[in-house]
Structure 1
Amino acid sequence: MSFPIVVWILTALAAVAIVLTRLRLRGEAAAGRFSISSRVPLTHFVSGVVALVLWLGVLVAPEDSFIGGPFVGILAIAFWWVTAICGLLILARWLPSRGRHAPEAAGDSWSDGPGLSLLAHLGMVVGVLVFTYAYLSAAV
């Protein structure tokens, strides 16, 4: 399997992670031990959509066009990093807590624990590392 195919697959998986995170956290009673600001999932979604649109432009546009140029590529990578960092902040709602008054983890209909969030957001960080390497090494 060639490197550009891996980038396309990771792009599709990143899109799925962005949308599913938005769907999973749109209500007030999201799963986890702690509540997080509603701005973090919103920033995750908006920056993810912007990153996805810019990144798709970089992948399909000719290199000599504005969309395929270096400014748009660097901007796309920057938005990918914002998305990944927000994803890690979203994972913080699952951090263990100790003590007599520590809240119990709340579940939802998606899963019983943080497994799905861990898979999506740690996978997003790995994907963004691959995107950064692919862009900087001119593999895409």
Structure 2
Amino acid sequence: MEWSNVTWFLTALGAVVVLLTRVRLGGTVVDGTGHGAGRAGYSASLLRVHTIVGVLTLLGWVVALVTDQRAIALVVLAGWWLLAIVGLLLLARWLPSGGKHSEDAQGDAWGSGAGLSLLGHVGMVVGVGYFTFVALTDRF
């Protein structure tokens, strides 16, 4: 198995998760929070942190891969883990709020609802676990 091919592929998928999260949630923020009836809200600053940390982490990770610098990769791992945690916090918006006047959750489709977010952010945690393995064992 060629570790670098898997690493580059997962890096590209990480970029897609950061981009899609920004695109999907960027237009739904109103008055600092984004939410719908029956769903918990999220902070606009949390989305901003996700985007900024995501872009900086991706840039640092690509530099580490291209230059084959393990020290840079180990530092950037902190950004990957922060990104994964913030992504899971954003994913928590799909938990039902259970309010008296909340509506039933809407059906999920590939491009909307919790399905794509769940796939992307749980997949990101798995990918970051892989990145940690690759960096610690110097296989990138």
Unaligned runs of 5+ in 2: none
How do 1:1-140 and structure 2 match up within 5 A?
1-28=1-28, 33-62=39-68, 68-70=69-71, 72-98=72-98, 100-105=100-105, 111-140=111-140
Unaligned runs of 5+ in 1: 63-67
Identity fraction in percent: 46
Shift of 1:123: 0.7
| CA shift digits 1:40-77 (9 cap, x unpaired) | 11111110111100100110104xxxxx251x222211
Cα gap change, 1:129 to 1:9, in 2 (>3 Å): same
Q: RMSD of the alignment, in Å?
A: 2.4
Q: Distance in 1 between matches of 2:110 and 2:27?
A: 13
User: Size of the alignment, in residue pairs?
Assistant: 134
Q: Distance in 2 between matches of 1:52 and 1:112?
A: 25
Contact 1:31 1:106 in 2 (8 A): no
Q: Distance in 2 between matches of 1:36 and 1:104?
A: 19
Cα gap change, 1:135 to 1:60, in 2 (>3 Å): same
Structure 2 residue identity aligned to 1:51: T
Q: What is the TM-score normalised by the length of structure 1?
A: 0.84
